[in-house]
Amino acid sequence: ERDSQLQAIPTMCPHLLGPLAPDATNPDVLSCPWHGYQFDRRSGDCLSPAGARCRLPAAPVLSIRDGMLIAGV
C-alpha cells in the first residue's frame, strides 16, 4: 500500500524473467540482480540504458470488495 492505495508490482524482469525487488535506496525503483536492469515502478519504464526496449507490464487495478482483494484490468 502506498499513499492509501493498493498497488501490485511485478516480480519478474521482462528482460530474461529474473527476480525483481524494490531497490534498497529507492522504493519507486524495481531492480533485477541478474543484469542490473532497473524499472520505474509507477510508469514501467526501464531506467537502464541497455534495456531501453524492456518495459514492465501494466499493473492491474486493485480493489477491496466484501473483504476480498480483487485484481482487474
40 exposure class (CB count in 10 Å sphere: 0-12, 13-18, 19+): middle
Tell me: the pLDDT tens digits for 5-64? 677 888 899 999 999 999 989 989 999 999 999 999 888 999 988 777 889 988 787 888
- Residue 30 C-alpha cell reads as 524495481
Among the listed residues 67, 72, 3, the one whose alpha carbon sits nearest the alpha carbon of residue 41: 3
pLDDT of res. 5: 65
Looking at the predicted structure, is the pLDDT value of residue 3 above 60? no
Q: Which contiguous run of DSSP H or E holds residue 12?
A: none
